[in-house]
Amino acid sequence: MSTDFSNNAEESPEPRKAEVKGCIPSWLQGTLLRNGPGIFSLGDTSYSHWFDGMAIMNSFAIKDGEVTHRSRFLRGDTYKANMDANRIVVSEMGTMAYPDPSKNFIFKAITFLNHTVPDFTDNGASNFIKYGNDFYATSETNYIRKIDPVTLETLDKVDYLKYLPVNMVSSHPHYDKEGNAYNMGTSIAEKGKTKYTLFKVPAVTEKDKNSSEKWAPALKSSEVVCTVPCRSLLTPSYYHSFGMTDNYFIFIEQPFKLDILKMATAYMRGVNWASCLKFCPDESTLIHLIDRKTCKVLQTKYYTRAMVVYHHVNAFEDDGHVILDVIAYSDTSLYDMFYLSKLKEGLQDESYSKPSYKRFVLPILSDKDVTVGEDLVKLKYTTASAVKEKEGKLMCQAEVFCKGFELPRINYDFNGKKHRFVYGNCVEESALAKEIAKFDTETKERIFWSEENCLPSEPVFIPRPNTESEDDGVVLVSVINSNPGQLCFILFLDGKTFKEIARAYVDAKLTMDVHGFFIPQGN
């Protein structure tokens, strides 16, 4: 059975109990939020790219062995403007919105000026972020929308630029044990310089919790940790995530760049903003290590071949090395696969470049007494290398674990520490996953789950409380079920065996989404 991904979703804002088959562990209590595009056409206009669709949020509340589902569209300024006009009037990355032909010249002139210095969308259809005690729907622009994680109502609009000099921000922050959040954003031509800004959003203190003052976003207390100068002023690198260990942040400056000048003229030239992204395969990728204690970038420069990374798996330290696991592509064809015209063809395209799960090893010891051409990696369990080319410059070669693996998730209790297991989607033949897998980084073996005519989401691992075993927990997956007469469902897999322990059929049609965020009960 085929699924038409250009069909508009329907929201179900009232809570509905799901029909549970099997036994959900009693310790699993909380809410899984999932986010993704949901509306693709309005009036006589349509989005060109799947990522551009207006966001729909789903929640699966799990309590005492039962599951309650609800969904809502994200009702931000973008949603309201489009709905009021009954057409797409706010541009997205892959779709440039043009005014109604019946509008007068002044209206068209204002629209043109708004696109020359663009005010980006607040259509947060990529992920959820927690800052302080608040949850936000996010994409990668300077706007995020606060949401109620219980009712999924859309609340305040927050602009990063009011608190930090960042025009674009990653949708994959990191969190430490104290609840502090860390994220990265790009500052475009700020004081004549384009740079990458790493910032911290402190956890909420007891004093803050008990304060009677009017609500303010936790970003109000944010602080810049470090800035990394861009290699080129008007073509900053695109990135979707970064890495963090106990002592380091890891940022990949890849030769996948956003051309700012082209972006400013895109509307006038009749092209979308995505066309202003360019991949430079002849250029190298530069990996930056940032010391968390000194808040400075290490002087050693780690280079590797041109690649495109959207998702970091994890990073950790071992005996003077930083180990970095990523999902890497050899080109940018993945984005093109999600144009709705391609999705209608079933994503079967010879140009598809399947990703590789790669492990890089970055030695952090001085290379002063090392001869040129020597490999500085001393770990015995990896074939990754870091060869000295000249003082302060290492050329890194990754170990490839497997291919056709994406949307990686680990036990986040092991974030920044040595992990063994990774859960993800299998994308061997196309970017559309029909099965998911548990990957063992030691044995290189995979265990799979799939079901006929079913499309699984990114798997989210939830650890059993107070366990010491890395894979002791449950994997949550929302599943689009295209079998006639059958409902979509949320799947519960045993984290160790990857066998089904339960499923909950929801009385609503689920749609393909992007990322999920689990909120434990009482958090």
Q: What is the pLDDT of residues 93-129, one digit of tens each?
A: 999 997 655 554 444 444 444 544 457 899 999 999 9
Find how far residue 89's CA is from the centre of its chain. 25
Q: What mean pLDDT is predicted for residues 23-35?
A: 98
User: Cα(244)–Cα(182) distance, rounded to whole angstroms?
Assistant: 9
Q: Does the annotation flag 419 for ligand binding?
A: no
Q: What mean pLDDT is predicted for residues 350-356?
A: 85
Q: What is the pTM of this model?
A: 0.94
Which pLDDT value is given to residue 106? 47
DSSP state string for 15-42: -EE-EEEE---TT--EEEEEEEEEE-EE
Q: Does the annotation flag 321 for ligand binding?
A: no
Amino acid letter at 204? V
* Residue that has been written with the tokens 């399947």 in this structure: 354
| Residue pLDDT, tens place only, 364-381 | 987 778 899 999 999 999
Q: What mean pLDDT is predicted for residues 176-184?
A: 97
Q: In this model, does residue 453 exceed pLDDT 90?
A: yes
Which pLDDT value is given to residue 2? 63
Using CB atoms within 10 Å of the CB of residue 100, give its burial: 0 to 12 exposed, 13 to 18 middle, 19+ buried.
Answer: middle
- Give every CB contact of residue 215 below 8 A, 6+ residues apart in sequence: 156
In the sheet that holds 446-450, the strands lie side by side as 405-409, 421-426, 435-440, 446-450
| Residue pLDDT, tens place only, 286-298 | 999 999 999 999 9
> CA of 384: how far to CAs of 126, 283, 324, 395, in Å?
32, 21, 10, 11
User: Of all helices (H) and strands (E), which one includes residue 209?
Assistant: helix 206-209
DSSP 8-state class, residue 255: S
Looking at the chain, the whole-number percentage of residues with pLDDT higher than 90 is 81
pLDDT band at 76 (very low <50, low <70, confident <90, very high): very high
Total count of residues recorded for the chain: 523
CB atoms within 10 A of CB 142: 20
Q: Does the annotation flag 174 for ligand binding?
A: no
Q: Does the annotation flag 311 for ligand binding?
A: yes
Which pLDDT value is given to residue 164? 96
pLDDT band at 207 (very low <50, low <70, confident <90, very high): low
DSSP 8-state class, residue 432: S
Dihedral class, residue 406 (left if φ above 0, else alpha if ψ from -120 to 50, else beta): beta
Q: In this model, does residue 503 exceed pLDDT 50?
A: yes
Q: What mean pLDDT is predicted for residues 141-167?
A: 97
Tokens of 467: 């366990």
Phi and psi for 430 in degrees, rounded to 5?
-160, 175
User: Cα(271)–Cα(116) distance, rounded to whole angstroms?
Assistant: 13
